[in-house]
Chains A and B, each alone.
Chain A
């Protein structure tokens, strides 16, 4: 479980996150949704420690993460996996080397065991016969899959995904969502996904938090979201004309 308490973050005096408190549950896919620029990525990067927060607390189980030094954070980080918006695969390494990187860095396993683990992770995300390809030779969807394989290489307890569907076609996006949900359940991870894709919300949103202009406005599940009386959330969900039409038809 990850718990955020009264988190505040500003850049150059401008508040980006304002007193955010959320509990992210283990074994569930927790979604942070909101418009572009609402503070989702800053929140996610604050939770993983890539941004220093101004005030507040970030708890990983019973450990106060934001007060730890580099060595202390390193222990927690060895249990994290993260999927970045642009995949963030290492350009100079092949697919196999990318997935193997955390194993080389943090384990002393024999080479053949590492290769087995790499192949297992790649197979798990449906990447086959691509071990020797470089990231520049992969499609957007394949890059995301390889990034997921790298993120799960060390059996993480926490998985973070920043806009996992950005730049993907709707079918690939659904496959990536399904994969994230399956892995979350399979490894009983605490997964936090940043998204503004409503398909993702309806597919995998076991717990959903809506953020607007750095403020947490709503919290619930995908089943509650359509009946919410939060104006800002409704504006966000029913932003496109098709959704508006369906909503007005449902009302009449």
Chain B
């Protein structure tokens, strides 16, 4: 328990350093632009591929589990849409990003720590926590909602393609299904969750990397911890946010 509280205290103190006034806003802006590419644009590919196939699988599974004629066919499209919006695009995509982006952040900052690059920043009088972590947080908070929207669109598209090609639903029925009883708030719910998850992934992973002590072995461990702790926190906050936003 004491260890947990100590870690929590260090995490809060790190965030305090991260959100202090930047030394040179123009340099931070440049750094944030570079993080948009590293953490955002470079994640579009994996999110699009996984979303496409998840949408396809959700459609086929829904189709094979609703073969009874009393279920209207358009429910397949509706199931695909709601699964993608409510859960996949935010939570599952966040878990994937925790693996890709989280491990990347922890390894990058951890390597900078063990090779004394962070010490070099500190010696120059730079607030290293803010300079290294704040641009990453801003980039993911802005870009991850875009990734969520991409995941929704590509996932539903993948569902439509798979359903039509497998002959389990017609295109017209699928399109009717994805328009049927649409609740726009679900998109807002998904985007709110994404913003929380983005903050968890970036801050937890950066924390793991920033306090690495040792060598390459410890950097590897920090990277693993970043993924595990981010994933657990994402699942925990998924429950809390769902209860708060949908109840």
Contact = CB atoms under 8 A, between A and B. Distances in A.
Interface string A55-96: 000000000000000100111011011101110111100000
Interface string B122-136: 111111000000000
B123 A80 contact: yes
Interface string A122-136: 000000000000000
Given A104-B24, A104-B27, A105-B27, A77 B125 contact: yes
Contacts of A106: 23-24, 124-125
Contact of B123 (A48, A70, A86): A48
Given A104-B27, A105-B27, A84 B126 contact: no
A105 B123 contact: no
B216 interface: no
Interface stretch (B44-52, B69-77, B112-120, B170-178): B112-120
B116 A88 contact: yes
B131 to A, nearest CB: 9
A50 B116 CA distance: 11
A82 B111 CA distance: 19
Contacts of A85: 116
Nearest to B34: A92
A242 to B, nearest CB: 33
A140 interface: no
A73 B116 contact: no
Contacts of A73: 125
A74 B116 contact: no
Contacts of A84: 116, 119-120
A105 B120 contact: no
A50 B124 contact: no
Contact of B125 (A50, A74, A91, A104): A74
A86 B115 CA distance: 7
Contacts, number: 54
B24 A50 contact: no
Interface residues of B, number: 16
Given A104-B24, A105-B24, A88 B119 contact: yes
A91 B111 CA distance: 10
A82 B125 contact: no
Contacts of B120: 82, 84, 88, 90
Given A104-B24, A104-B27, A105-B24, A88 B117 contact: yes
Interface in B3-24: 23-24
Interface residues of A, number: 26
Given A105-B124, A106-B125, A50 B23 contact: no
B14 to A, nearest CB: 14
A82 B121 CA distance: 10
B216 to A, nearest CB: 13
Contacts of A82: 119-120, 123
A88 B23 CA distance: 21
Interface in A31-63: 45, 48-50
B202 to A, nearest CB: 18
B155 to A, nearest CB: 34
A144 B117 CA distance: 14
Interface string A98-111: 00011011100000
A45 B116 CA distance: 11
A85 to B, nearest CB: 7
Contact of A50 (B27, B119, B127): B119
A85 B115 CA distance: 9
Contacts of A80: 123-124
A160 B24 CA distance: 25
A102 B124 contact: yes
Interface string B75-119: 000000000000000000000000000000000000110011101
A77 B119 CA distance: 12
A40 to B, nearest CB: 15
* The 3 A-B residue pairs with the shortest CB-CB distance in the complex, in nearest-first order: A77-B125, A74-B125, A88-B116
Interface of A: 45, 48-50, 70, 73-75, 77-78, 80-82, 84-86, 88-91, 101-102, 104-106, 160
Interface of B: 23-24, 27, 111-112, 115-117, 119-120, 122-127
23 contacts: A50-B119, A50-B123, A70-B127, A73-B125, A74-B125, A77-B122, A77-B125, A78-B124, A78-B125, A81-B123, A82-B119, A84-B120, A85-B116, A88-B115, A91-B111, A91-B112, A91-B117, A101-B124, A104-B24, A105-B27, A105-B124, A106-B23, A160-B123
